[in-house]
Structure 1
Amino acid sequence: MTHLWPLRVYYEDTDFGGIVYYANYLKYIERGRTEYVRDMGVDQVALKENDGIVFAVRRVEADYLAAGKYDDELVVETELSHATGVRMIFDQKVKRGDQVLFSATVTVVAINKAGQATRLPANIRRHSKP
């Protein structure tokens, strides 16, 4: 399943030249992953309160391919490419129409209250590709 999350580039997202500031792409994909997990039916607040599990980014491999600009309408595409017992690997793109501006592979791990890796709930692991 590819999840789509639309956004518009606001002035606050840009640098002096009206170009999306590079770190904001990380914010965009974070929001895209959050909405993807929400659409999977996972309530992250309840997961933390009931199971003591939170998600933490372990690794990001990113490519900046083209510039987003002020007032652009963009879409964050998120796909869960793989899930193991404790980690999820997401493939994400930020696009303007058909043009890919930014792509990233993001590894997210489940951690417990002590900050140690812990097993992902089965309902999350089921959403990964076979």
Structure 2
Amino acid sequence: MSQTALIPAPPLLHMHPLRVYWEDTDAGGVVFYANYLKFFERARTEWLRAAGVGQHELRERTGAIFIVIDTRVRYLRPARLDDALQIAVTRAELGRATLTVHQHAWRGDELLCEGNIQIACVDHTSFRPQRIPSDVLSRLTPP
């Protein structure tokens, strides 16, 4: 049995817990709007890791890296200092060289922020698009 077969596909929904710290807030004690993109990035990284895709290892092995090429974010309610959040990641579309995910920031059952993030696979030196390696594609495709 191959090692790839032992690594499960990512769940349809991945939840990443996160606490809001001083560094995340503005002078009003509210999460600064750009920090939601950081929260989303952390959750995507952990989603990939849960699927057996380490981004450093991917670059070393294939020369490929993932970069964000488009974001659409909608802010609904503020998060504040010490809030416990859950950042959701759901794979929406998977192409040959791109990946789109839907992401949501929740405080309990209250939706605070939502976004669609499009990611491209590129060569880490030239930044030219390249296909997502087949082993990564298989890990990001539910059985």
Considering the TM-score relative to the shorter chain, is it more than 0.5?
Answer: yes
Deviation at 1:124, TM superposition (A): 3.1
Aligned to 1:123: 135
CA spacing shift, 1:129–1:107, aligned 2, 3 Å: farther
Aligned to 2:106: 95
CA distance in 1, matches of 2:112, 2:142: 25
Aligned to 2:35: 24
CA distance in 2, matches of 1:101, 1:123: 34
Q: Runs in 1 of length 4+ with deviation above 3 angstroms?
A: none
RMSD: 1.3
Q: How does 1:42-121 map to 2 (within 5 A)?
A: 42-112=53-123, 113-121=125-133
Aligned residues: 130
Post-superposition CA distance 1:22-75 (Å, at most 9, x none): 111000000000000111101211110110000000000110010001110000
Q: Give the letter for the 2:51 counterpart.
A: M
- The unaligned stretches of length 5 or more in structure 1 are none
Deviation at 1:81, TM superposition (A): 1.1
CA distance in 1, matches of 2:16, 2:103: 11
Under a length normalisation based on structure 1, what TM-score does the superposition of the two structures give?
0.95
Under a length normalisation based on structure 2, what TM-score does the superposition of the two structures give?
0.87
CA distance in 2, matches of 1:128, 1:114: 27
- The unaligned stretches of length 5 or more in structure 2 are 1-11
CA spacing shift, 1:129–1:61, aligned 2, 3 Å: farther
Deviation at 1:129, TM superposition (A): 6.4
